[in-house]
Structure 1
Amino acid sequence: MDQETRLNADLQLGTAELSQLDCNQKVKSTTQLPSPPNWHNILQGVSQATKALLTNSDRTIAINQALAILGQATAAHRVYICEYHPNFVTKELAFSRRFEWVEPGITPQHDNPLLQNLSQNEFDLQQWHQQLTAGYSFSAIASTLSQPQRQFLQSLQVKSVLLVPIPVESKIWGFIGFSDCKYERQWSQDEEAALITMAATLGSIMAYRQMTDVLSSERQQTQVQLALSEERFRLMVEGSEQAFFYIHDHAHVFEYVSPSVQAVLGYTPEELVGNVYHVIMHESSQALADQLTDQALLTGKRVDTYAIFGLHKDGRILVLEIAESPVIRNGQVQGMQGFARDITDRHQALEQLKAMAKRDRLLRGMGERIRTSLDLQTILDTTVAEVREFLQADRVYIVNTNSRGGESAVVAESVAANYRSVREWTLTSKNHEEALHSYFNPRVIYVVNDTTKKIDLPAVIAQDFISFQMRAIVGVPIMVDDQFYGLLVVNQCDKPRKWQDFEIDLLEELSTPVAIAIQQAKLYQELQSFNAELEQQVNKRTQELQQKYSELEELQNIKDEFLHAFSHDLRTPIMGILLVMKNLLSQSNGESVTISPIILERVIHSSERQLTLIESLLEAHSSDVKGLTIQKLPLSLHTFTQTIVKDLEPQLIKYQATITNEIAMNLSLVSADALHLRRVFENLITNALNHNPPGLNIILNATVENGMMCCTITDNGVGIDPDVCERLFNRYIRGRRSQSTGIGLGLYLCRQIISTHGGEIGVISEPNAGAKFWFTLPLANPFLEL
């Protein structure tokens, strides 16, 4: 009877022993969650499993019987044993499934490559080992675990799990697992305690068996060593799916290769024997294989299982798991024997799971950065760096096709140190730009595995590919607000590359969060611009309001000053007239009164002053509302000013002043309204007399400057403060030294008259330095005046 037949018979025997248990507790394939197993049945199952381990001399059969008993007793769908050990490649903590029992109808997982040499950090499983090492069990419902753990259990069709530690010599050898594949089962503390006791018993038995096996082996070594070696060798060579090999020394030449090598690598043994073993290895793995093999030949110590990239006869690259151990005779290393197993499928499955997890982290990280940051440049720079690292590409960049008036610009780039940056790229001609726009469709993903094989490339684009060593390209469009923004581009520079579908899908998925980040930054910039503009407008309006308030306050002061002066100027003559009239009335005694000419002159003079004040006020208001009406005619300033000086002689005598008229007789004529212009001269001369002490000297002059007649009235008086000069021609403004009782409209009317003529007026003065009033008038055109 062979081993497999005996194993099946023992399993049936173990199952038969379970007839003593309550059959109603076995899990049925129903849609309803069954009741928990009977506690008595679990204890009885633990007892029977322990008995099977202790009474059966074959450890494998004993363990399988025990697992079957425990599966029936606990109503679990899958019961298994896993061993902790260092990962064959990375040396990190890993585990492998060694034994398994499953209920009929449940898919076995014993041969699943994922469960062999599985590192703890692959699916964030360190927590399991930590809890088991502390002597506690670990139970959980898959849907409540972290995403990596949930993903791992769901790939095994597990709804809930219970793990109990197997201690061997005070260390955790591994664990027994109980999986429910149909229901989300909660394990009780009593169940966990009973199964922990069972695992401890299993560990003790295993330690005992190991010690017994060592003692037995030492006693029988000399008798059975040769038979066992021959049997092992025969089984490995004839029945194994692994390729067995033997090399003699450091030359690494095959002396023997098993026939199974043809199924693994495509070579016959005859094709390999006598050749260096590099023939089956990719060049990237040869140095590692040489180092480990030479180390074992030198030290005589077994090499931990490791993985390399192998070469199939047809050129395919495989992942080979290599197990080597030195052959030692009489204390001397005679050679190296080993096995090579094809683990390409398992490696690819692990790599795909790693890639999926890494891809999820990349997308989550991108989304998190968009949610938490408004720094677009940092988001884009991090994205291209992570994509390049994930795809192991030579260059990744994002190009904005409309950043500078239609010229493309690279806004973010990650490139290997030995390749040029595409930021150096520029358009060489108009044809260059036209070729780019015509060749690349902005809404289509552009994929090229080898640019040297593209025969339809325009010459300028082909030259770009050569200049920047672009051997393989993927370009994914970025759409912002349904408008083409640019491209997310990946380059392989050193060699062609067959782009995988999942890589292209990743780039296409990434284009969406990149577009969101760009749109978010755009909206943020618009908001900042709007806020800045709004703040600027508020500041501007505030300044305007402050200016208006200042003007209003100034107008209020002017109004108060005007009312005070106007009321004072009107009150003085009226009070004089009133006093005279009252005095006459008191002297009349009801009879007629004779009024002397002097009194009449005083009354007339006071009335004329009132009328002049009122007319000045009305005229100033009328000029603001309707504007002045003037009638310009050619005028000789010399003759005109001589008449004015003659008329002002009484006032000059009164103020002991002199006027010198230096305006030349032959000076060009001006175009002016004589009536209004006379008021200008009279106002300026009268102001000079009123604002200065007696004995003033006044000089009249005029010259032609820049096509205009510039008239000046200069005095040697007390001068005017600079702050008064700036606003002297405003309405209701009077100098602080003014001896006049006017309301301050004279100079304002002068400015109105000169402005209406098309000229300008001003004053140049300093305190104690006299004053020089000037104004300009247009020259007369004799042809137009006819």
Structure 2
Amino acid sequence: MQQASAADLTARVALLERRLERERSARRTAEEIGERATSELFEAVQNLQRAQAEIQGRADQARTVTELAREVRRELDLDGLLQRAARGLGEALGADSCTVRLTAGDRATALARWARPGSGCDGSAGTPLGDPAAELAGGSPAGRWASTRAATPVLVGEQLVGWLELESSQPRSWTERDVAIAEGLARELGAAVSQARVYADQQATVERLRELDLAKTEFVSTVSHELRTPLTSITGYLEMLLEEALGELTPHQVKALTVIDRNAQRLQLLIGDLLTLSGVDAGAFRLDLAPVHLGTVVADACAAVRPLLERRVLDIAVEVPDDLGVVHGDGTQLERVVSNLLTNAVKFTPDGGRIRVAAADDEHGVSLSVADTGCGIPLDEQDRLFTRFFRSTISQEQEIQGSGLGLAITKAIVDGHGGGVDVESAPAAGTTVTVRLPRHPPAAGVA
């Protein structure tokens, strides 16, 4: 019994030792797992912190580049643009000076320098670090970053157009952030330089066109004045001939002189129109403002176009109320407006058609319209009706005479009165032109 009990005790002790060892092994394993997990967690936290720092750094770089680019793109003048870039990059990177140099081959085409006040650095950077020609031979040019000077290329596509050069009076370490911001601004600057050059070319073109337009206006005005003098003599002698002051005429001669007189009057009107538009362009066209009865203006205009109605079969209706009231305007020029509209209506309305002239008060002043049942105007041409010398395809196809100046002059006169002109038209359905005039125009001139 005693021997059995001792054996049992020994077995139990051995079992307990094995259990204890297993527990110790499990504890060691758990500790190792815990240590590894803690290490991995610590490493993950560090990676996360590094990633967050990198994201924040990139966001800061992008924000800085965006702000610099926005500041640069605010300027369209090339010199001003380069100066903004030099100052902005120098201040953003804490450099003592920054130089923006545009190049064409070995030749500098533009230069802008900025130096920090009191830095002792005058910003007169020398040649770029790295020869652009040598760099291009091996592919895209690369920047150079030394302890006191740095340079990064400005590219448009694959073409080298310049350099951004930074300088520090003391040795320093240029960080990845510095490089990223400089390279980012260099990319933006390449696009901005292209934009500025295109803008400069456009401005030069506009200036040349303005000079040509001024020369054209002066030429037209000079020629018109020069034509008026001999034309006055021609019409004077025509009048004497038709009145037979220089001798009796045969019917055939009278007919021939009448044709000459009619075309001389057309030429006089054309010269008058050209002089009017030249005056508008030069700012010399003025309105003689006074109280005007539109009913009288319409009646006088109808009388002026009456010769056009000879040998024509047209139904003309005038609907102007007696109590229409008074407009403060230039009676002569307003009669010219109505005459131009009536002349067009007569020209473009075939025999058997109708023309209606109407006027009425509205809430803003007075409206006057001339409507016809003529050939109408194609929709795609209506936005050019008031363009000088414009003649619709219909007028050209039907060989209807005209200079294309009447509606341009009409609009200039109405604009001078502070009013507006509207057109409603459709091919083969007629045209209605409506002029709206305020009671009191804002100015006595045409801009």
Relative contact order higher in (CA < 8 Å, ≥ 6 apart): 2
Taking structure 1 as the reference length, the TM-score comes to: 0.30
Taking structure 2 as the reference length, the TM-score comes to: 0.50
